[in-house]
Amino acid sequence: MGKTDATDSADPPDPIFVVVQWSSSEPKFSKISLEASASSWTLAKFKAHAAAVLQVEHLQLPDFNEDMDEMTLSDLSIGLTNVPILLDLAGAEPTLAVPAAATAPEDEEEEAEAAVAEASEASAAVPKAVPKGPPSFATRKALEDASEVKDGWLFLSGQLAASSLDCLQRLGISHVMNCCERIPCKFKGRLKYKVIPVMDTKSSDIRVYIPDAVAFIDEVLAAKGKVLVHCMVGASRSVSLVLAWLVAQCKLPLKQAFQLVRSKRHQARPNRSFCEQLMDFEEETLGSRSACLADFFHK
């Protein structure tokens, strides 16, 4: 009887809130509420739902390429951070079915902490001591988002790990390579950042960013530091640049490099254009091609 009472009185799961942003004369923001079980929705289902809520015919999410449509919101960390999801409404102006916010929502406590850190430790590039005690639920989720790629010093992630100072400190991260410039570099006073402003689109030329990315990772290795390379999801942009480093500096064939990264991070899947550019890069760097599009799950 007691067990039944506990079940009956249990609070329902908290809803998921997704902050969205769309471009117009001035960026506008809104918050879409989803039931807790929506974490298992595919991205395609979320896009259809968001279009219905905002009362527009269709929309695109520039931070998520078309290969991600069947990934879940949980895998994409959608609704788990305050980073707004950018919407492309193709010029349409939504008739809001939800209240709009005048400015982007922020986590005030985290923003204050980041501001204090930046002001008081502007010259530091070394993380604080590892926090003591067991991690919180939020930190555990962030740690799950971070994938160790090489020897305990090179990590890949999406926005979730990159947004958690506790996670970064527990991993001992000293450097962060941010491959999605819309994600704020929140802890500049504590960590050294490199921003790679590449979009996850077929028209993006990721090869122009490879020299800077390789040099930054080399810098971390020489300093005996630890680096987190991230983008929005940790699937395409960040993975592509880590693959380029493995080919260029470790002389790993591209196919083998991707197999390594994929074994560490199941979300890893650069978009088709990035794969083609990486195959060209491998041939120029190593003198031959080891991979084809099928090796990256592209037809």
Catalytic residue positions, numbered: 231
CA distance 232 to 234: 6
The letter for the amino acid at 203 is S
Please answer whether residues 282 and 291 qualify as being in contact, where contact means their C-beta atoms are separated by less than 8 angstroms. yes
- What does the radius of gyration of the chain's CA atoms come to, in whole angstroms? 20
Beta strands (DSSP E) in the chain are: 16-22, 28-34, 85-87, 100-101, 147-150, 154-157, 175-178, 192-195, 227-230
* Sequence-distant (≥ 6) Cβ neighbours of residue 78 within 8 angstroms: 18, 43, 46, 85
The length of the chain, given as a count of residues:
299
3-state secondary structure of 111: helix
* Sequence-distant (≥ 6) Cβ neighbours of residue 192 within 8 angstroms: 125, 174, 175, 176
**What residues pair up with 230 in beta bridges, in sequence order?**
157, 178
